[in-house]
């Protein structure tokens, strides 16, 4: 599968500055390639089986148990790998880079997205958010009330409008640390930051001077940006704010021109169209692609009359949703990502983006593609087949598919007095309870519990009624020390 080659994980077995000797996990064992493939397969599977906690994927409760996970890896080993997963060596990297924790993986993945596929004519440029909440020391965390994930890491994305393929991306890190790639396109230093962001990221993707049309929202749109893109052979269209410089005065509200619903006013300079249309409210737009033509929406009628709108608005609504489509694909089967570390959440976000891009490319190359769920299921199976050396859980572990006989209510589980051994003087002997007695090595002088009752079918001594009930209803009946 494409995802197996597109994802490269740099694994540091020492876990950075983490002191493994103090951890609650078992003694560390180096991870093999087959074990890493199985680990990634289980990560993908967590997005297919929805549960709110990692432990529940390995739960022994007969109602919610999922034997698939425990068959390929134990919970302790999975948590051990996840806890010590690193993408860089903390001692060797440049900590002045805000993204140094994920920089090699991020750069590698971004380049793979560019090399794997060249997007179609219509592009969508917008920002997405990787949800990160409660990370007080993350200085480039942003708040955006218009996004579903209001707190998080802001990511500038260029997506294909039709499919949602993520062509490239850049992360907002704040201040002068912003990576703009503006030098690749020869953008003047006097241009504003948004112009450098848009033109620079399109230049990095190799999407300039090829006749592409890019659609943007009002945060980025300005006459300055559209003039730069026009000189670089790229058309642009988007909504614009009323206070942008060089915007025609007749289009602004302060000009005193009031429009009734459905009316339009426009001005044009060379290839740049500025338009104002009254819908439910004023809509201001710029475009170097369209003319001031009106189109009739045949399927929409208002008060018995067909709705007429400018062509630039219709095309904007049609082609602006590439980033939203990409986000929707990622959220449908999002992998489990609960973590204290921000970079681990970001890693999971990038990993999901890789899976979505792989699925989009798969649909473009296969005549009768399967749905997204089945595609991810096939990736999980392929990764596990490519990992024959994965040791799986220890041989001494219990298989969840085998239900113990003591939990089967069809058998006569009734209490009775313990049977005496042949020739014993005591007819009602007392023996150690199998539930509440702790091992002799851990007893430390505590007295043992010796009931005189046992189960009629199981033939094991049990205290009445607590231990008897726990032994016949719980898969894990032993109390934790």
Segments making up each domain of the chain, as ranges = 2-95+333-385, 117-324, 405-481
Give the pair of three-digit tokens for residue 268: 């044009």
Q: Is 171 helix (H, G, I), strand (E, B) or coil?
A: strand
Question: What pLDDT, on the 0 to 100 scale, is given for residue 9?
Answer: 37
Find where tokens 């988007």 sit.
238
Question: What pLDDT, on the 0 to 100 scale, is given for residue 78?
Answer: 92
Q: Smallest Cα–Cα separation from 431: which of 458, 451, 457? A: 451
Find where tokens 């876990």 sit.
15
Q: Smallest Cα–Cα separation from 172: which of 191, 197, 147, 206? A: 197
Q: What is the sign, positive or negative, of the torsion defined by CA atoms of 377, 380, 382, 385?
A: negative
Question: What pLDDT, on the 0 to 100 scale, is given for residue 226?
Answer: 92
Cβ 225 vs Cβ 199: under 8 Å: yes
Q: Give residues with Cβ within 8 angstroms of 94, minimum separation 6.
A: 100
The full DSSP string for 92-127 is TS-TTSTTTTTHHHHHHHHHHHHHH----SEEEEEE
Task: Tell me the pairing of strands 213-216 and 122-131.
Answer: parallel
Cβ 10 vs Cβ 31: under 8 Å: no
Q: 209: alpha, beta or left, given left = phi > 0 and alpha = psi -120 to 50?
A: left
pLDDT per residue rounded down to tens, the chain (481 residues): 444 444 333 333 333 334 444 445 567 888 999 999 999 999 999 999 988 888 899 988 888 888 899 889 999 999 999 988 888 887 776 667 888 889 899 999 999 999 999 999 999 999 998 988 765 678 888 888 877 778 889 999 999 999 999 999 999 887 655 667 777 777 777 788 888 889 999 999 999 999 999 999 999 999 999 999 999 999 999 999 888 887 887 777 666 678 888 888 888 888 899 999 888 888 999 999 988 888 888 776 666 677 888 999 999 999 998 999 998 888 888 887 777 888 999 999 999 999 999 999 999 999 899 999 999 999 999 999 888 878 777 544 444 444 577 877 777 888 998 888 888 888 788 888 888 877 666 655 567 788 889 998 888 899 988 889 888 888 777 765 4
* Residues paired with residue 124 on neighbouring β-strands, in sequence order: 159, 215
Cα 391 from Cα 408, distance rounded (Å):
31
Question: What pLDDT, on the 0 to 100 scale, is given for residue 403?
Answer: 57
Q: Give residues with Cβ within 8 angstroms of 428, minimum separation 6.
A: 417, 418, 420, 452
Per-residue burial over 253-272, b if 16 or more Cβ lie within 10 Å, else e, is eeeeeeeeeeebbbeeeeeb
Give the Å distances, CA to CA, from 281 to 262, 276, 298, 466. Answer: 10, 10, 22, 69
Cα 339 from Cα 474, distance rounded (Å):
30
Task: Tell me the pairing of strands 235-239 and 213-216.
Answer: parallel
Compute the C-alpha angle 110/111/112, nearest 5°.
90
Q: Is 67 helix (H, G, I), strand (E, B) or coil?
A: helix
Cβ 3 vs Cβ 354: under 8 Å: yes
């Amino acid at each position: 599968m494409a995802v197996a080659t597109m994802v490269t994980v740099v694994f540091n077995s020492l876990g950075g500055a983490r002191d493994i000797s103090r951890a609650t996990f078992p003694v560390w064992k180096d991870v093999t390639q087959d074990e890493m493939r199985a680990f990634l397969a289980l990560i993908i599977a967590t997005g297919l089986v929805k549960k709110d906690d990692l432990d529940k994927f390995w739960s022994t409760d007969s109602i919610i148990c999922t034997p698939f996970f425990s068959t390929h890896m134990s919970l302790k080993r999975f948590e051990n790998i996840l806890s010590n997963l690193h993408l860089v060596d903390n001692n060797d990297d440049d900590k002045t880079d805000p993204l140094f924790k994920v920089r090699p993986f991020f750069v590698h993945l971004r380049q793979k997205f560019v090399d794997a596929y060249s997007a179609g004519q219509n592009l969508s440029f917008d920002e997405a958010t990787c949800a990160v909440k409660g990370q007080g020391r993350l200085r480039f965390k942003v708040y955006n009330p218009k996004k579903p994930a209001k707190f998080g890491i802001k990511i500038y994305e260029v997506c294909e409008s039709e499919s949602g393929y993520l062509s490239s991306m850049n992360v907002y890190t704040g201040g002068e640390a912003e990576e703009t790639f503006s030098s690749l396109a020869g953008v003047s230093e006097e241009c504003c930051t948004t112009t450098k962001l848009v033109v620079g990221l399109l230049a990095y993707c190799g999407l300039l001077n090829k006749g592409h049309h890019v659609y943007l929202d009002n945060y980025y749109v300005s006459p300055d940006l559209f003039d730069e893109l026009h000189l670089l052979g790229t058309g642009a269209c988007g909504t614009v704010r009323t206070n942008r410089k060089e915007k025609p005065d007749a289009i602004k509200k302060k000009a005193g021109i009031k429009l009734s619903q459905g009316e339009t006013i426009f001005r044009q300079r060379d290839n740049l169209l500025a338009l104002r249309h009254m819908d439910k409210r004023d809509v201001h737009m710029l475009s170097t692609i369209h003319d001031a033509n009106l189109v009739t929406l045949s399927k929409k009628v208002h008060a018995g009359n067909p709705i007429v709108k400018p062509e630039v608005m219709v095309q904007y609504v049609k082609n602006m949703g590439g980033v939203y489509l990409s986000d929707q694909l990622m959220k449908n089967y999002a992998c489990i990502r609960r973590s204290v570390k921000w970079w681990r959440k970001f890693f999971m976000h990038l990993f999901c983006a890789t899976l979505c891009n792989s699925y989009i490319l798969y649909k473009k190359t296969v005549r009768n593609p399967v749905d997204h769920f089945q595609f991810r299921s096939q990736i999980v199976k392929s990764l596990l087949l490519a990992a024959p050396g994965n040791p799986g859980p220890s041989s001494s572990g219990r298989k969840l598919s085998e239900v113990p006989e003591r939990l089967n209510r069809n058998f006569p589980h009734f209490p009775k007095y313990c049977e005496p051994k042949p020739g014993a003087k005591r007819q009602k002997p007392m023996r150690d309870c199998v539930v509440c007695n702790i091992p002799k090595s851990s007893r430390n002088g505590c007295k043992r519990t010796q009931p005189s009752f046992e189960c009629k079918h199981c033939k094991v001594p049990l205290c009445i009624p607590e231990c008897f009930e726990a032994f016949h209803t719980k898969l894990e009946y032993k109390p934790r020390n």
